[in-house]
Amino acid sequence: MKKLIALLALCSAFSTAWATETKLEKIQVDTSVAAVERGIDTLMGNCHNCHTLKYVKYRNLLALGIKKDKVDAWRGDQPLDAPLTGLLPDTAAMQSFGKIPPDLSLMASAREGGPSYVYAYLLGYYITPEGMPGNHIFPETKMPDALGISAATDAAQRAEIQSKARDIVSFLAWAADPHQTERQQLGYYVIGYLLVLTLMLYFVKKQIWSRLE
Amino acid sequence: MAKRIIDWIDHRFPLTSFVKHELTGYPTPRNLSYWWNFGFLAGFVLVLQVATGIFLAMHYKADVTLSFDSIQHIMRDVNYGWLLRYMHSTGASAFFLVIYIHMARTLYYGSYRAPRELMWWTGQGLLLLLMATAFMGYLLPWGQMSFWGATVITNLFRATPFIGDQVVVWLRGDYTVGDATLTRFFALHYLFPFLIIGAVLIHLVALHTVRSSNPSGIDLKAKDNIPFHPYFTAKDFYGLGVFLIVYFTFVLFFPGSLIEPANNIPANPMQTPTHIVPEWYFLPFYAILRAVPNMVGGVVAMGLSVMMFAFMPFLDRSRIPGGAHFRPIFRVQFYLFLLDMLVLGYVGYIPPTSESIVIGQIATLCYFGSFFVLPFISKAEERWLIKRGLPPEVQALIASEAEEKSRRTKR
């Protein structure tokens, strides 16, 4: 709605107001279970060492359709109801990065641009002329280039990293909104039902009002 | 058996006659357009918000250490908790949309004119209650925007003369927005809807005394009124169907579009978000607040901008019936006012720049200006219209109104 109002209010006339904001490439999130599963595989290897996902429980991964032995390997001796807590103690994180890495459960909905932001951020790393790591999307970031995009030179390698980032985004989008698929499926039934109902109510109204001369 | 029970009740309580006079047989102008559906829709959304809110409160925890987590618990673990929460958060926006359309209809058709001033003023009271309820409810998820929004808005009460600082502490229950603020906002967020229900009843009693306004702008003859049931029940339910399609499209397909991304980050008093924006329904008023460079002035301007509507019965001095339909200048002014609201909304949404501040100030002047010039314009417009010769439809309306009045006084 806010966006709608913003658009309505003659966006183009004031386009200079947006000049400071970085344009994000809008990506289509693959919500298939396969993509989400590839995403968590990558995430468990690259991100979970430092980041927590405290609102996602191992049980949720089973419900999503991930094989039990895989989930068992990840959780070790933790119960199924345990959340995906990180492996890095807070004190160690403070020593290495100067801050505690943010929880990723809601990352895909907690930034302007959502999944597109996360995707752009993961691929936003580069090496400065001074040889220091930098990030176009979030320059103040303390996170190292986890996927290694800044060091990747040949096209095949970059494409592989891009597809990895896409999978991570698929998983994070699921983690932020695990009922999305269910919600949308329900949505088609609800809207379909309401369309039929409203059409019938329209004819009821017409019929009743036709009694007036 | 049923008849015997109803007879027993009717002997002790005016059930049948009440239903007949105030609900089914309630005489309603037959020429009401679909713009008159929105009062009913507002009542429906109120019920929806109360119903979803009560169930949310069964799972919500008003405690700074628990509330953000409890929202995620509702969204993930409670059966259909996500549906309750999205219906409630989308319902807040739906409520304001419906109320703003309801108000715009009143302004366009001049429904605030005598004898409906009290309808308009009770409506104004309802708007304030709704704004307070929405504002307090927005703190409850305890996200970044919840916290900083509440901090900014409670801070405005510093503008109170002499006891400003004390008032702010009194409102927050602490020197900063914290646990005391959260628990009291939760308690009041649960209380206010019931005050709203009470105020709605007063609004409806007033309505049933003065009867519904209608597009003609005059009170219709008795034969042009039709019973509320089945005609307007059928019409309202059809309108409700259309409303629900729009509402559930948002609830089920775009629920996140009404939630600011920063509110998915837990409140952090140590870190201010890059820019603090209120919900869309407060944006024009927020823009007016920011347009005035001085804080006290801004607060006064913002308060006044909401309250200006209450003066409409005094400001609009035209007696031409038919709402804006037969009043070309008022009609242009009405649409310019809506446009001005959109500009203010946009200016309130974007981070302030030197251009946007100027645009906001001009739009604020236009906002108040349109109220201040109305008494002169409406009178001049009336004179001009009469001098030019009123169209036959308007003359017929005025004649019919005079006839109706004399018939009533004779009786």
Residue A11 has a pLDDT of: 38
To the nearest whole angstrom, how far is the Cα of B160 from the nearest Cα of chain A? 31
Query: Is the per-residue pLDDT at A3 higher than 70?
Result: no
pLDDT at residue A17 above 80?
no
Q: Quick one: which of B379, B403, B375, B404 has its CA closest to B319?
A: B379
In this complex, do B355 and A5 lie within 8 Å of one another by their Cβ atoms? no
Predicted pLDDT at B262: 94
**What angle do the packed helices A155-176 and A33-46 form, to 10 degrees?**
100
Q: Please give the Cα distance from A114 to A97 (Å, whole number).
A: 24
Provide DSSP, A69-135: HHHHHHHTTS-TT-EE--SS-HHHHHHHHSSPPPP-TTGGGSSTTTHHHHHHHHT-EEE-TTS-EEE
Going from the N-terminus, what domains does chain B have, and what CATH number goes with each?
Answer: 34-274 (1.20.810.10), 277-411 (1.10.287.980)
* Chain A contact set for B279 (CB, 8 A): 2
Q: Is B212 a catalytic residue?
A: yes
Which residue from A minimizes the CA distance to B275? A112
Quick one: chain B helix, strand, coil %, rounded to 5? 75, 0, 20
Whether pLDDT at A10 is above 80: no
* Stretch (H or E) spanning B46: helix B38-57
Task: State the best of A60, A181, A201, A204 to mutate against chain B, taking most chain B CBs within 10 Å.
Answer: A201
Q: How many angstroms away from the CA of B168 is the closest CA of chain A? A: 29
ipTM: 0.93
- pLDDT, residue B411, reads 61
**How many interchain CB pairs under 8 A, A with B?**
127
Q: Do B256 and A202 touch (CB under 8 A)?
A: no
User: Residue A109: which pLDDT band, with cuts at 50, 70 and 90?
Assistant: very high
C-alpha distance from residue A19 to each of A14, A125, B384 (Å): 10, 22, 48
**Does A26-178 carry CATH code 3.40.50.11890?**
no
Q: Which B positions 183-242 lie with beta carbon below 8 A of chain A?
A: 226, 230-231, 234-235, 237-238, 240-242
- Domain locations in chain A as residue ranges: 26-178, 179-213
So what's the pLDDT on residue B52?
A: 98
Question: Would you state the pLDDT for residue A24?
Answer: 81
Residue A7 predicted with pLDDT over 90:
no
Please give the pLDDT value at position A26: 87
Whether the CB-CB separation of B287 and B345 falls below 8 Å is answered with yes
Residues of chain A neighbouring B97 (CB-CB closer than 8 A): 1
pLDDT score recorded for residue A8: 45
Q: CB contact, 8 Å: B268 with chain A?
A: no
Q: Which among A3, A11, A60 is the nearest to B257, CB-wise? A: A3
| Per-residue confidence (pLDDT) for residue B75, from 0 to 100 | 97
pLDDT along chain B (411 residues), means of 10: 94 94 92 97 98 98 98 97 98 98 97 94 98 98 97 95 96 97 98 98 95 92 91 97 98 95 95 92 96 95 97 95 92 97 97 94 97 96 93 89 80 61
- B292 vs B248: CA distance, rounded Å: 39
pLDDT tens digit sequence for A175-206: 999 999 999 999 999 999 999 999 999 999 99
pLDDT over 90, % of chain A: 69
Q: Which A residues in the span 98-127 are in contact with B, Cβ-Cβ below 8 Å?
A: 105-106, 109-114
- Tell me the backbone φ, ψ of residue B15, rounded to 5 degrees: -65, -60
**Phi then psi dihedrals of residue A135, to 5 deg:** -135, 125
Per the model's pLDDT, the better-predicted residue between B227 and A90 turns out to be B227
Please determine, for residue A12, whether its predicted confidence score (pLDDT) is greater than 60: no
For A152-183, the pLDDT digits (tens) are 889 999 999 999 999 999 999 999 999 999 99
- pLDDT for A22 equals 59
